[in-house]
Amino acid sequence: MPDFALEIELGAPGRSIAGIDEAGRGPLAGPVTAAAAILPHPLPPDLERLDDSKALTAAARAELLPVILEQCQTGIGWASVDEIDALNILQASMLAMCRALHDLGADVHAVLVDGNRLPADLPCPGQAVVKGDGKSLSIAAASIVAKESRDAEMARLASMHPGYGWETNMGYGTAAHRCAIKKHGPTPHHRRSFAPIAQLALTL
């Protein structure tokens, strides 16, 4: 289970330490989403169930999201499909992370970023943490906000573009999604720089 050890190493609770995570690097469609979170100290009882978003059920994430938004400082950042295609998915993810930190609207002394890279434009010191959503409570909270926010956006887009199954596959390249792309063609929300979409475009 994640804990506060990394935050404490960086000076929490006397200093504001934010966790940052992203959701949506792998899908064939939709934006990439990042979230930043600063948790209160000590951790409120309602947040003691915090864990990596991938380790939680959908129901547990849905229950935790409003608690995180109410009791923590959070920010969300997005990078569009156009930005993903122009920059590549890694750089677009870094851009979304910087936007999430800016949206936090708080003075941050340092950040803990899930993964093995830091965004180049961070306004404060940062530490990359491999599998950080399973180690840091701040990153775990950010992972839930990022995933739930992106899932909600994909459900919204699914209502505008039915037939691709985005409300359940969230834009990932499932067999059914790939069949729908071949049948209906790509939408404006498909990532044309991704190989399956780029290859399909050559045959259309």
Q: Using 50, 70 and 90 to split pLDDT, how confident is the model at 4? A: very high
* pTM given for the model: 0.96
Question: What is the percent of the chain with per-residue pLDDT over 70, rounded to a whole number?
Answer: 98
Averaged pLDDT score across all residues of the chain? 95
Helix (H) / strand (E) containing 112: strand 110-114
**What is the H or E stretch that residue 37 is in?**
strand 32-38
The full set of domain ranges for the chain reads 5-160
pLDDT above 90 (res 149): yes
Cα–Cα distance for residue pair 112/110, rounded to 1 Å: 7
Under CATH, which architecture does the 5-160 domain have? 2-Layer Sandwich (3.30)
Query: How far, CA to CA in Å, does 152 sit from each of 10, 95, 136, 146, 159?
Result: 33, 20, 24, 10, 11
Separation CA 204–CA 199 (nearest Å)? 9
pLDDT of residue 106: 80
The whole-number average pLDDT for the span 59-85 is 97
Dihedral sign computed on CA atoms, order 117, 118, 120, 125: negative
Please write the tens of the pLDDT for every residue from 13-34.
999 999 999 999 999 999 999 9
What token pair was written down for 53? 């978003």
Residue 201: pLDDT over 90: no
